[in-house]
Amino acid sequence: MTLELQDIYKSFPAESGGEVLEVLGGISAGLERGRFVSLIGPSGCGKTTLLRIIAGLEPASRGRVLLGGQPLSGPSRRVGLVFQQYALMPWRTTLGNIEMGLEMAGQGREERRAAAREYVEAFGLAGFENSYPHQLSGGMQQRVAIARTLILQPELVLMDEPFGSLDSQTRNALQEFLLSVWRQRQDTIVFVTHNVDEAVFLSDEVLVLSRRPARVVARFSVEAPRPRDRTSRASNQVRREILSVLKEQQEQVGLV
């Protein structure tokens, strides 16, 4: 197991007069190295909170995160994070953004430039190395953000709805792009989405979270062969099963 989530609970303290907000209610899961795993769950159920805990940006109230058998506490270069909002530095160019982490790690200018240039090529950004984020399309900005994270060679890549703000065609293209990168690198990826189609297209496994306080209510293996056909029988079958678990979650609180 490369990533082990051991009984993770998280509550946020009460706002003035309110109740304590229980967000995570005991999340346990083990993820193997090189797997592409999606987390899916209702909006507000605690997906971002869970990723922030795994990334060491937020302490758990209880429970542990182990990476390669060692407890993770606090931010680490071993874990890379990609957000929905690309969070690029607006005053830095494509190259400047991609090499930022290497710069912070103290790598020399020539070396990090050379590494960043390789990513520019591989990520289809050639010709835009000196552009600023506002001069790039949303899809390109997200490729820069992914390159900036992967260049640091993290053992674990966390992605929080990275394609959530893209139009559906760009989104499909970036899903295929991400898979092509992953096929070569075999990163271990935890990918948060609330889009069932996206989870099924991308993942080896899909973990379905309950409403708040979130627990893992189901875990599916997606057996459809790769490269995947979005409308194959195998894809449709697992999609139907995931949708049914999500629907049960909604029915339990009388939302439908």
Ligand X SMILES: Nc1ncnc2c1ncn2[C@@H]1O[C@H](COP(=O)(O)OP(=O)(O)O)[C@@H](O)[C@H]1O
Which chain residues interact with ligand X by CB under 6 A? 12, 21, 23, 41, 43-49
Q: Which listed range, 6-14, 24-32, 41-49, 174-182, lies at the site for Mg ion (CB under 5 A)? A: 41-49
Please work out, in degrees rounded to the nearest 5, the angle formed at the alpha carbon of residue 207 by the alpha carbons of 203 and 208: 125
Whole-angstrom CA distances from 218 to 8, 85, 206, 207 are: 16, 28, 8, 6
Q: How many CA atoms lie within 13 A of 133 on its CB side?
A: 17
- State which residue, 81 or 181, has the beta carbon closest to ligand X: 81
Closest listed residue to residue 77, CA positions, set 142, 150, 4, 141: 150
Q: How far apart are CA 117 and CA 95, in angstroms?
A: 7
Closest listed residue to residue 253, CA positions, set 213, 218, 219, 220: 213
- 76 lines the binding site for Mg ion (CB under 5 A): no
Q: Which listed range, 40-48, 99-107, 133-141, 233-241, lies at the site for Mg ion (CB under 5 A)? A: 40-48
- 61 lines the binding site for Mg ion (CB under 5 A): no
Q: Which listed range, 43-51, 130-138, 166-174, 206-214, lies at the site for Mg ion (CB under 5 A)? A: 43-51
Least separation in angstroms between CB 64 and ligand X: 19
Least separation in angstroms between CB 144 and Mg ion: 21
Q: Which single residue brings its beta carbon nearest to Mg ion?
A: 48
Least separation in angstroms between CB 85 and ligand X: 13
φ, ψ for residue 71, nearest 5 deg: -65, 140
Give the one entry of ligand X, Mg ion, none that residue 45 binds, where binding means its C-beta sits below a cut-off of 5 to 8 angstroms depending on kind: ligand X
Identify whether 227 is preceded by a cis peptide bond (ω within 30 of 0). Answer: yes
- 48 lines the binding site for Mg ion (CB under 5 A): yes
Least separation in angstroms between CB 208 and ligand X: 12
Site residues, Mg ion (CB under 5 A):
47-48
